[in-house]
Amino acid sequence: MIKYDRYTGGKRYAATFSYDDGGAADRRLVELFNKYGMKATFNLISSSVIKETGDGIKANEIKELYNGHEIACHTYTHPHLEKMSIKDQYDEIMRDREILEGAWGQIIRGLAYPFGTYNDDTLTAMRTASLVYGRTNVATNNFNLPQDFKIWNPTSHHNECEPCVKRFLYNVTKAPWRAGGVLYIWGHSYELNNAESPVQWEKFEEILKVLSEHNDGIWFATNIEIYDYVNAISALRRSADGKTIYNPTDIDVWISVDDEAIEVPHAKAITI
C-alpha cells in the first residue's frame, strides 16, 4: 500500500517555528535555533527594519542574521488589516514584501497576519501580492496541516506549547504510525524576556534541546519548506497500474510503500 505520509528524509514528523515583529531578542533566538538545528520563519515589519533608531533588527543585518531561516511578511506598519480597504491591505503587504526582499535577497512567499486577524479582502490582497500562506494566531493544539494554507493555524503559542510538545514527542517515539504530524510553534522573541511568562529563555532552550534529540524522527523546516514539500507530494503522478510514480517537481519527496520509506527524487520516476 502507498501512503503519502512522509516528510524529507522519510521522517513521519515535522516541526516549524514562526516569530513575529523582528525585535532585538530575535538575535538571541536565532542563535538558539542554530545551536539546536531548528529552522524558523521570521515575520518582519519593514517600517521598523528601515528605522535608523532603536535596537530592533535592521535591514542591513537581515541577510546574515537569518541565514538558513525564512523571512516572511508581517506588513509595513502592522495594522489591523481587516479594518482597511482592500487596496490599502494590498499596499501594506506588497510594500513590506519589496523592502524585505531587498534586504534579504530572496523571494518572499509567506505572511503572518498582524494580530493574527484578517478578512476575505485580506486573503484576496495577499494572493494578489503572490503570497501563498498566511499564519493566524489561533491555536489548534493539534499537528494537522491546514486545508487552506492562507489560513494556517499554528499548534500553539510558545507559552502554552509544553503539553503539545510532550504529546508530539510521544507520537514521534511511541506511536509513529500516527503519521502526518507537524508541530507548529509561534511567538515573539521579546516574550522570552518577560519575567511573567511561563516560558522564558531557559525553558525554551530545554524544549528545543529535547526536540533536537529526536531529529532522527523529526524534519525541522521553515514554514515555506513545509508548504513546498506538501505541494510537491500532492503533485506526484502515478501510472494506472500503480507501479510507476513520477515526481515532476524540483523537490525530493518520500512516500511509504508497505510502510517502508521510499524516496521519489525530483524530476524522476520510480518503479515500485
- Spatial separation of the C-alpha atoms in residues 54 and 265, rounded to whole Å: 47
* Of residues 74, 157, 85, 156, the one with CA closest to residue 114: 74
Closer CB to Zn ion, 21 or 96, in the complex: 21
Residue 21 lies near Zn ion (rule: CB under 5 A)? yes
Size of the site for Zn ion (CB under 5 A): 2
Which of 7, 20, 96, 208 contacts Zn ion by CB under 5 A? 20
Minimum CB separation from Zn ion for residue 231, in Å? Answer: 26
CB of 115 to Zn ion, least distance (A): 7
CB of 85 to Zn ion, least distance (A): 21
Q: Do 99 and 71 touch, CB atoms closer than 8 A? A: no
Q: Residues 219-238, buried b or exposed e (16+ Cβ, 10 A)?
A: bbbbbbbbbbbbebbeebee
x/- letters, 141..180, toward Zn ion (CB under 5 A) = ----------------------------------------
The residue among 83 and 209 lying less far from Zn ion, judged by its C-beta, is: 83
Residue closer to Zn ion, measured from CB, 20 or 70: 20
- Taking the C-alpha atoms of residue 65 and residue 44, their distance in angstroms, rounded to an integer, is 13
Q: What are phi and psi of 237, to 5 degrees?
A: -110, 135
Least separation in angstroms between residue 78's CB and Zn ion is 6
Return d(Cα 74, Cα 64) in angstroms, integer. Answer: 20
Query: Smaller CB distance to Zn ion: residue 21 or 92?
Result: 21
Whichever of 21 and 191 has its CB closer to Zn ion, that residue is: 21
**Position of cell 537569518?**
66
Q: Contact positions toward Zn ion, by CB under 5 A?
A: 20-21
